[in-house]
Homo-oligomer: A and B are copies of this chain.
Amino acid sequence: MVLKNKCKNVAVSMWRKNMLVLSTSRSLNTLAPSFHDNRILKSPTLVSLDFPDVWTCSTANSNQPTPVPKRASEHTAKVIDGKQIAEDIISAVAVQVQRMKKTIGEVPGLGVILVGERKDSQIYVHNKMKACEEAGIKFSLTEFSDKCTDEEVCNAIMRFNSDPSFHGILVQLPLPQNLNEEKVLNVLKLEKDVDGFHPMNMGNLAMRGREPLFIPCTPKGCVELLIRSGVEIMGKKAVVIGRSNIVGLPVSLLLQRHHATVSIINELTSNPEEITREADILVSAVGVPNLVRGSWLKPGAVVVDVGTHPIEDTSCEQGYRLIGDVCYEEALRVASSITPVPGGVGPMTVAMLLYNTLESARRKYNFI
């Protein structure tokens, strides 16, 4: 009960914080835009339907305890050690970088653009820099204040585009709201898009028989964790919570390429727990701490938790600790395997970025 309440309290406060009244949006399907008198279709434009993810949950305000499915009382899920797996991958990348250097006198290069003062973005960029150093990948950071213009950021991207010593370019997201993310990312040369966020990469990831130049790092990291943990994906039921361009969408596409039967839960899904309870593999990438309770899981499911949320905790040295989308302590008693937060998906994102940068350089130099 103590664990359950701890999970519930954090989740409820976040839900309340995010809560918006969505009921009025429900009639959007039947709205007739006024700008088109000569309108032929009843379908509204796509953009008009595009409102931000606001997660609510029918169980959020419930005082009912959520019963965790019974397994043997001593059962504890296997914890998937993302940190160790990421280190293994970074070491293997380092070996290949050395081989490239010795053989053709070149190393992969990564150009990063950071705009603004977001603490989390600064930490992520710092981690990427450290990992590049470790692997022998050239790293260059261009920083801007959050008052900069689209043009300044685009110019920085174009410098990396035309510099042959950089094989990967990364714009740390999210950008400050005054910048136009689409416009900025469109400048990025497709063959250096190591984050894989270009629509052309996304389309090629989605389409059968096509192959993207790069697969987005976090989704690729999730799937690599599954494969290295011996989890069979093909033919399994996978449920993805969240549909962001960065994680939810590409992880659902990638799991489909691995022949899973995929369901995607969004913020308007009623009773999401009924769907998650059918999942052999559950990926949560929704940004609500402790959304996924033990009772949401099928016994023996594999859980990949992409959420990372700092919550106040005076017992920790920094005054906070990180938790995920999944109520970890409850999930441990139900799942067969689970990725922890921190130390699960996070380090894999960095490892995959290095891998994509190496692959880009290999492709350019035709170095196998």
Contacts and interface: CB of A to CB of B under 8 A. Distances in A.
Interface of A: 25-26, 28-30, 35-36, 38, 40-43, 45-47, 49-50, 89, 92-93, 95-96, 99, 181-182, 198-212, 215, 220, 223-224, 227-228, 230, 232-235, 237, 243-245, 249, 253, 256-259, 261-266, 268-270, 275, 355, 358, 368
A189 to B, nearest CB: 15
Q: For A201, A230, A263, which residue has the most chain B Cβ atoms within 10 angstroms?
A: A263
Contact of A200 (B199, B244, B261, B262): B199
B224 A42 contact: yes
Contact of A227 (B42, B228, B275): B42
Contacts of A368: 35-36, 38
A209 B246 CA distance: 12
Contacts of A99: 38
Contacts of A42: 224, 227-228
For the complex formed by this chain, how many copies does it contain in all?
2
A261 B233 contact: no
Nearest to A37: B368
30 contacts: A28-B234, A29-B232, A29-B234, A38-B95, A38-B96, A38-B368, A41-B224, A41-B355, A43-B220, A43-B227, A46-B212, A47-B209, A49-B257, A49-B259, A50-B208, A50-B209, A182-B210, A198-B203, A202-B202, A202-B203, A206-B249, A207-B249, A208-B244, A208-B249, A235-B269, A243-B256, A259-B266, A259-B268, A261-B264, A263-B264
A211 B46 contact: yes
Contact of A263 (B26, B227, B263): B263
Contact of A261 (B49, B92, B199, B263): B263
Contacts of A210: 182, 199
A319 to B, nearest CB: 34
Nearest to A223: B43
Given A43-B223, A263-B263, 11 more contacts: A26-B235, A43-B220, A43-B227, A50-B257, A199-B200, A199-B210, A203-B203, A208-B244, A235-B269, A235-B270, A262-B264
Contacts of A28: 234
Contact of A265 (B45, B199, B261, B265): B261
B261 A266 contact: yes
A270 to B, nearest CB: 6
A149 to B, nearest CB: 20
A208 to B, nearest CB: 6
A203 B253 CA distance: 11
A93 to B, nearest CB: 6
